[in-house]
Structure 1
Amino acid sequence: MSTTDPLVRARALAASGGRRVLGIAGPPGAGKSTLAARLADALGPERAVVVPMDGFHLAQAELDRLGRADRKGAPDTFDAAGYVALLRRLRAPHRPGPTVYAPAFDRSLEEPIAGSIPVPPDVPLVITEGNYLLHDAGEWASVRTLLDEAWYLAPSEDLRLERLIERHVRHGKEPAYAREWVARSDEFNARLVALGRHRADLVLDIG
C-alpha cells in the first residue's frame, strides 16, 4: 500500500476480508497507545479492537522474585511466549466462536489485569501496540510473522522524552526519579527497540 495515512491503511486492513492484525511499534513514549486508540475510535468497536503488548508485563511480585524489578519494561520482564500465543489465537478466530479475552496493563496499579479486553470473533482488525513487536530475539522473533502490517513510530526525541517523563509523574513517580528512570531504563530499552525499525512496513515521523 503506497499511502502513509494511518487511518486509510487501517481501514483497508479492516476491509480486506477475514481477520487482520496491525502492529504499532516504537520506543517508550512514542505515542503508540494514543495512535492505536485513535484508529480504533475512528473505525468503531465493530471493526477494530486494541490489544496492547503491555498486558503481558510480568506481575510485580514475579519481577521481584526474578530480581528484574529495577528494569521493568525490558524484554525479559514480559511473558513474550504468552503474547505470541495470543496473537496466534487472534489471527484465526472461529466463527461462530467464543470471544477471546486479552489482558490489559493498569498504569495506576503498575500491574497486568487478565481478561480485560474482549475480542469478538467477527471483529476484522486487531491493533496491537508495544515496544518489542519488531524485536528479533527469543520468543519476540515470532511476533513480526504474525502481523499483517507493522508500523514504527519515530517522533522527535525531545517530544518523546518530555511526554515520557510526564507520564511517569502522572502515574506517581517524583519528577527527579522519573527523569532518572527514563535516562537509565527507558532509554536503554529505546535503543534496543530502534534496532527493529528496518523490519517495519511503514515508519511514521509523527508527534
Structure 2
Amino acid sequence: MELSLSLSYSRGGTCPSPYQLNLLLHGAKQHISWQYTPYLFSPIRKPTKFSWQQKWHLGIRHSCQKVVSYNKQGIPILEARSIEEIYDDLGERVLSITRTMNHFDKKYIVGLAGPPGAGKSTLAAEVVQRLNFISYNKDAIAVVLPMDGFHLYRSQLDAMEDPEEAHARRGAPWTFNPDLLLKCLCSLRSQGWVYAPSFDHGVGDPVENDIYIGPLHKIVIVEGNYLFLDEGVWKDVCSIFDEKWFIDINLDASMQRVLKRHIATGKEPDVAKWRIDYNDRPNAELILKSKHKADLIIKSVNFQS
C-alpha cells in the first residue's frame, strides 16, 4: 500500500527538509521505515502517530513557504524563507523531471551560473547530496562538475602577451579554456562518461582527469561563472544544458562575500579590495548580463537564514 503524504505545520518552528525528515523517520523510536521520493512518503510498515519535539506531524498539505514568480522576460523566480528550502526544492525539481525521462542512459545536465560569491559551489553540492541520499540506488546518481578545472594553467598565462595583466585578471572569461569544457560536455553526452579536470587552489592550477563522471551518474550539475555567456564557444557550452539555473544576488553583497574570501586566504585587505575593483566586480557585472539565458532564477538567501 502507498500513501501520499506531506508535512503540515503544528507548533511553530522551521519546516524540516525532506533530507532531514528521512534521517528523522529512520531514527524514530517507532522504528517505522519510510522511503522518500518527491512529495511521496511510502510506509513499508503500518504507520503510527509520529511527532518530533511536538513540532511536526504527518498531514495532507505541504506548508513550506516557497514562492515562484516571474520576471519581465517570463523566467520563473524561486524564492524561499531559508537556503535549506531552496536546496530541497531544487532536489525535488530535478528528481521529478529525471524520473519521467524516456531513455535510461540519458544524462540530465544542469548548468548553474551566477557571479562570484553567489553560492554556486555550495548550492550544487547541497542539491547533489540530497539527490544521492534519497535515490533508490546505493551508488551516487548525481555529481557536480565545477568550471574551475577549466582555468588556463599559470604557464599559459605566462606565455601571453602581457603576463602581468593575465595573472591580475585571472578569473575573467579569457583566462578559461571553454573549448576543453565543451569537449568534455560533448563526450559526456555521446559516450555517457568522462574524466574531467579539477582545480587545486593550493597549487593554483587544474588537475587533469581528477573528476570521474560515470554511466550511473544520471544528473550532472555544472557550476561556473560564464556558462551562459552569449559569445564565442561559451554560446555552444550553454546549448548543452537541459536546464539552466542562475543565482541572482545583489552585486554589493556578492562582492562582500568575495572580499571576505580573499582575506581568509591570506590577502591583505587593501590588496583584496583592489582585486575586487579591478577584476571581480567587472567579471560579476558581465555575468549578470547573462541572467536572461536562464530557465530558472534562484533568489539568493543568506546562508545563515
Task: State TM-score, norm by structure 2.
Answer: 0.63
Q: Taking CA–CA contacts closer than 8 Å with sequence separation of 6 or more, which of the two structures ends up with the larger relative contact order?
A: 1
Relative to structure 1, is the Cα distance of residues 13 and 23 closer, same or farther in structure 2, using a 3 angstrom cutoff?
farther
**Cα deviation digits, residues 113-136 of structure 1 (max 9, x gap):** 111111111210111000111101
Structure 1 residue 179, shift from structure 2 partner? 1.4
**Cα deviation digits, residues 9-61 of structure 1 (max 9, x gap):** 22234434321100100111111111001011111261101011111000112
Q: Which residue of 1 aligns with 2:249?
A: 155
Alignment of structure 1 residues 41-80 onto 2, 5 Å: 41-44=129-132, 46-66=140-160, 67=163, 68-80=166-178
Determine if the alignment matches structure 1 residue 29 to structure 2 residue 117: yes
Letter in 2 for 1:33: S
- Alignment partner of 2:191: what SS? coil
> Which structure 2 residue ranges, 5 or more long, are not aligned?
1-67, 69-75, 79-88, 133-138
CA distance in structure 1 between the aligned counterparts of 2:180 and 2:269, rounded to whole angstroms: 34
RMSD of aligned Cα (Å): 1.9
Relative to structure 1, is the Cα distance of residues 168 and 10 closer, same or farther in structure 2, using a 3 angstrom cutoff?
farther
- The count of aligned residue pairs is 203
CA distance in structure 2 between the aligned counterparts of 1:143 and 1:13, rounded to whole angstroms: 22
Q: Which residue of 1 aligns with 2:287?
A: 193
Determine if the alignment matches structure 1 residue 127 to structure 2 residue 221: yes
CA distance in structure 2 between the aligned counterparts of 1:180 and 1:3, rounded to whole angstroms: 33
- Work out the percentage of aligned pairs sharing the same amino acid: 38
2:77–2:297: 8 Å Cα contact kept in structure 1? no
Structure number with the higher helix fraction is 1
**Cα deviation digits, residues 90-113 of structure 1 (max 9, x gap):** 12334xxxx521111122222111
Letter in 1 for 2:179: A
- Alignment partner of 1:50: what SS? strand
Q: Which residue of 2 aligns with 1:91?
A: 189
**Cα deviation digits, residues 141-167 of structure 1 (max 9, x gap):** 101110000011012334312211122
CA distance in structure 2 between the aligned counterparts of 1:169 and 1:120, rounded to whole angstroms: 37
> Which structure 1 residue ranges, 5 or more long, are not aligned?
none
Structure 1 residue 139, shift from structure 2 partner? 0.8
